[in-house]
Amino acid sequence: MDGSNFAVPETADGSSGSAVGLFSHVSSTCTNDRVQLLDNNRVVATSKQDKPELVYFDPVGDLIIQIPGTSDEAITYSYVVSTSVLTLASPVFKALLNGNMSEAYALQDEGQSRIVLQDDDPKAMELLFKILHHCARKEMNVTIRDLAAVAVLCDKYDCIGVASPWILTWSEGIDDSGTALETGLILLIYYFLGVPTKFGEVSKNAIKILEPGFQDVWLCHPLIRLFPQEIIDDISSSMLCMMGRIRQEFGYLDFLLRSDNKCIRTAKMECLGCGKKLPQNITLCYTCPEAQLRDLYCTVETRMATYMSFLRECHVTLHEDPMETLALQELTHIIEESSTDIFHVCVGASGCSLMAHLAYFSSEIRDMMDGVEGLLLDTYITCK
């Protein structure tokens, strides 16, 4: 039954029946309530006496599921659903409705069963009920957090096969801002839905874009902390391994430059009066016509001075380690930009190794980033 096509039947005289007449037989407690159609895909009975609303996913539903709201809300959400739908979609619901699960209990009230689910997210459960009762639409206002919460419920109630197509469809339409929180929620979705390709892709991206200390954000979030600790540890270990390799490349570059003692005459001359750099074919500084000109040479000192400027551009100083504050992807971008934008006195001269070393260093870092591998989902399946 598609909830977007709820219709009000005609009466014997050909006029449309009222919504109250259509749904009043569902529960005698709805007799004094007003029934409204909301969002074209759900029916809500709102009480005149400020009773909790009833959300109908099946107009002839035989079960009311109640979920307490948060401590801030101080209300209980009530959903009218079909036991046939739930038992077909979920073996866990089937066991629950047969009285085999201790965390839920059933009460009989005017011929309708009531079950209270104490620990579930009301908004996520409502979205899951929409999926199971064919009330979902592709164009729905859902967030990454909503989808992650539903994915957790799907795993809990063993109905991933029914709900995952909807969750995956919705997730494709959500923009990922690249924050630690959103990256963790997206990875959580693919973990609980069991999508190895997507899990590998997102975990690979996480290793590149997460900043050191992301664990604090993840472990404080009520959903993301449901991850096995092994996933968080392995992402952190991969980041640390990459940072260690980058440190080694910095050290090797430093060694190469300090070991190069060549002295190279450049294509520039320097005015001893004003310090202006002039082309080599100029014999007179027009600013200081009386001053002498001298040839400029590229030495290990000038190369190291330029290299130190490069390090500062990369946030590498005695008091700052970029690998303790920057994401790998951001650091790689800074290295690539700085290696091409840096000024060196030898520009235009042959035989200087600095720019070649910087270009090679940047290329090595890029190759390392391209070689980052994501996590294998099968490694963590047994952790559920």
The answer for residues whose C-beta is within 8 angstroms of residue 318's C-beta and 6 or more apart is none
pLDDT given for residue 237 in this prediction: 96
Mean pLDDT of the chain: 80
> The tokens of 150 are what?
């539903």
48 versus 61: which is more confidently predicted?
61
Confidence of residue 7 (pLDDT cuts 50, 70, 90): very low
For the ranges 8-22, 107-121, 162-176, the maximum mean pLDDT occurs at 162-176
The yes-or-no verdict on residue 45 having pLDDT over 60 is: no
Q: How confident is the model at residue 106 (pLDDT cuts 50, 70, 90)?
A: very low
Q: pLDDT at residue 33 above 90? A: no
CATH placement of domain 54-240: 3.30.710.10
pTM, entire model: 0.76
**In which band, very low, low, confident or very high, does the pLDDT at 315 lie, cut at 50, 70 and 90?**
confident
Q: What is the pLDDT of residue 268?
A: 75
Residues for the chain: how many in total?
384
- Mind listing the pLDDT tens digit for each residue in 142-199? 999 999 999 999 999 999 999 999 999 999 877 666 799 999 999 999 999 999 999 9
3-state secondary structure the chain: CCHHHCCCCECCCCCECCHHHHHCCCCHHHCCCEEEEECCCEEEEECCCCCCCEEECCCCCCEEEEEECCCCCCCEEEEEECHHHHHHHCHHHHHHHCCCCCCCCEEEECCEEEEECCCCCHHHHHHHHHHHCCCCCCCCCCCHHHHHHHHHHHHHHCCHHHHHHHHHHHHHCCCCCCCHHHHHHHHHHHHHHCCHHHHHHHHHHHHHHCCCCHHHHHHCCCCHHHCCHHHHHHHHHHHHHHHHHHHHHHHHHHHHHHHCCCCEEEEEEEECCCCCEEECCCCCCCCCCCCCEEEEEECHHHHHHHHHHHHHHCCCECCECHHHCCCHHHHHHHHHHHHHHCCCCCCCCCCCCHHHHHHHHHHHHHHHHHCCCCCCHHHCHHHC
- The token pair that represents 40 in the structure block: 């074209």
Domain boundaries, the chain: 54-240, 241-371
Q: What does the alpha-carbon distance between residue 69 and residue 373 come to, in Å, rounded to a whole number? A: 41
